Amino acid sequence: MPKQFVKLFSDRSLFQQTAERNSAICSSRLIVSNSEQYFLALDQLDEIGLSSASTYLLEPVGRNTAPAIALACLTIDENEIVLVTPSDHLIKEQDEYEKVLLRARELAAEGSLVTFGIKPTSVQTGFGYIEAEGETAMRFHEKPDWDRAQEYLEAGNYFWNSGMFCFRAGTLLEELKRFSPDIYEACTRAYTNANSDGLIRIRHDDMATIPDLSIDYAVMERSDNVKVVAADIGWSDLGSFDALDEEYPKDANGNTVDDNIITINATNNFVYTSKRMVTLADINDMIVVDTPDALLVTRKGSSQKIKEIVKELKGRESELHNIHLTAHRPWGTYTVLEDTPGYKIKRIEVKPGKRLSLQKHFHRNEHWIVVSGTATVTVGEETRLVRPNESTYIRMGEVHRLENEGKIPVILIEAQVGEYTGEDDIVRIDDDFRREE
């Protein structure tokens, strides 16, 4: 589950907070997203009433921030002032945020590329730094070692690189063409060939030819036209569980405060749990992250090693790094309740007016039991309504479809039985959402 879509602090995800934070300032919103996350983003914006004011540019594969920003700028007027912001950052000081945006807009209107610098409050080796003289960016620095980061903190004219930018669309494209012409040309070609059917869909082959490079490397570090606006906005990139720990309330012993946490002779521990009771006894300086599909236990300062864990999971051909127990799909969600060799049990929720693809499976039979709403079920040539406490059976190889023609969500329990129940055992015959597999 991408970090920006997780509701870490309240009933709003970081993505939703980002959209709301900027809705009062910006006249329109363009979201650049991996195509797999489009419906998740759409659902979350619809949840807070902001989906109608958004345009989407969908990438079939990620190629870093320079192509993403360039493609976005190609979609709008060259004189438009653009605010570029990641959707997975925490910003707590809204009033100050709006003030620094106004200053950035002034500098962008004068023709500058503007970046937002966060004043360092501690020695950090996980951030890039910007060296500045006044509002002029002198040079960008890579993530430093501890001693160098200490020097930056003491110097007073170094800022953490927030990854947020402001500029005229045309100014950015001109600088990109000047310093990274290969990216500019590849992006222009990809945009020209894009499919536009209400969404801007970049073709896979075009996207794959674009060099993978960040906007910092491609433009910012090479341009002599970059300004820095100091931003004391309560910012965190929440780049690790150590960073998340700093944002959660703590008891007198430095442990996370939560009704589902019990600590005995334990100090300075961070615990993230959704439902289960977690108890700690006689341990200190630990991170415990308990979710329905995985448990992480590590010492503070080591949570960045999750990247190594993901690498190990890929080596084991696990799906854990790809699919959360609750997976979001264009038509709704499914949650895996049980997954055992020979069978799998899911809870499926289909949104009103949506339907799954017309499909078949080669390795499993399926039983559907409706518990809420009324499902329209097609099996072979027959279509019928299935109401709460009624069921249907789909034999291996039969063409079938599930649809919700009603006004409330359809919730059902699906029991798959067969020698293979993987998510890739799907042959789509017709799909409203143009998925290929």
Are 285 and 425 in a shared domain?
A: no
Are 182 and 246 in a shared domain?
A: no
Structure tokens at 363: 């390795």
Q: Is residue 154 part of a domain?
A: no
Tens-binned pLDDT, residue by residue, of the chain (437 aa): 789 999 998 889 999 999 999 998 999 999 999 988 888 898 899 899 998 878 999 999 999 999 999 999 999 999 999 999 999 999 999 999 999 999 999 999 999 999 999 999 888 888 999 999 999 999 999 889 999 999 999 999 999 999 999 999 999 999 999 999 999 999 999 999 999 888 999 999 999 999 999 999 999 999 999 999 999 999 999 989 999 999 999 999 999 999 999 999 999 999 999 889 999 999 999 999 998 888 999 999 898 888 899 899 888 878 777 777 888 888 999 999 999 999 999 999 999 999 999 999 999 999 999 999 999 999 999 999 999 999 999 999 999 999 999 999 999 999 999 999 988 899 999 988 876 54
We report the CATH number of the domain holding residue 211 as 3.90.550.10
Are 173 and 267 in a shared domain?
A: no
Q: Is residue 435 part of a domain?
A: no
We report the CATH number of the domain holding residue 423 as 2.60.120.10
Q: Pick the closest to residue 32 from 5, 4, 7, 65 (CA basis).
A: 65
Burial class (CB in 10 A: 0-12, 13-18, 19+), 250: middle
Are 418 and 353 in a shared domain?
A: yes
The strand pair at 343-350 and 410-418 is best described as: antiparallel
**What is the spatial distance between Cα 224 and Cα 136, in angstroms, rounded to a whole number?**
9
Residue 6, SS3 per DSSP:
coil
**What is the spatial distance between Cα 25 and Cα 8, in angstroms, rounded to a whole number?**
24
Q: Is residue 255 part of a domain?
A: yes
pLDDT of 322 reads 73
Residue 288, SS3 per DSSP:
strand
Helix axes 181-192, 169-179, angle to 10 degrees: 120
Q: Where a domain ends, among 305, 335, 357? A: 305
pLDDT of 436 reads 55
- pTM comes to 0.85
Listed in sequence order, the DSSP H helices in 156-281 are 169-179, 181-192, 204-208, 215, 241-245
Structure tokens at 24: 């009062």
Strands (E), 21-135: 29-34, 54-59, 81-84, 90-91, 113-118, 129-133
CB 149 within 8 A of CB 123: yes
Are 297 and 334 in a shared domain?
A: no
Residue 421 CB contacts under 8 Å (≥ 6 apart), including other chains: 339, 343, 344, 363, 364
Q: Is residue 253 part of a domain?
A: yes
Q: Pick the closest to residue 90 from 111, 64, 118 (CA basis).
A: 118
pLDDT of 437 reads 45
Are 221 and 261 in a shared domain?
A: no
CB 30 within 8 A of CB 55: yes
Are 59 and 185 in a shared domain?
A: yes
Residue in the block written with tokens 């015959």:
429
Helix axes 169-179, 65-74, angle to 10 degrees: 130
CB 299 within 8 A of CB 289: no
**What is the spatial distance between Cα 146 and Cα 122, in angstroms, rounded to a whole number?**
11
Are 200 and 84 in a shared domain?
A: yes
Are 298 and 333 in a shared domain?
A: no
Residue 276 neighbours by CB distance under 10 Å: 10
Burial class (CB in 10 A: 0-12, 13-18, 19+), 2: middle
Are 291 and 176 in a shared domain?
A: no
Structure tokens at 354: 């949506």
**What is the spatial distance between Cα 74 and Cα 81, in angstroms, rounded to a whole number?**
13
Are 56 and 81 in a shared domain?
A: yes
H/E run at residue 379: strand 375-379
Q: Is residue 133 part of a domain?
A: no
Q: Is residue 63 part of a domain?
A: yes
Task: Look at the chain and report how many structural domains it folds into.
Answer: 3
**What is the spatial distance between Cα 49 and Cα 255, in angstroms, rounded to a whole number?**
36
Q: Is residue 386 part of a domain?
A: yes
- What range does the domain containing 268 cover? 241-305
For 13-49, letters b (16+ CB in 10 Å) and e give bbbbbbbebbeeebeebbbbbebebbbbbbbbbeebe
Q: Is residue 392 part of a domain?
A: yes
Are 221 and 245 in a shared domain?
A: no
Q: How far apart are the first and last CA of the chain?
A: 20
Burial class (CB in 10 A: 0-12, 13-18, 19+), 115: buried
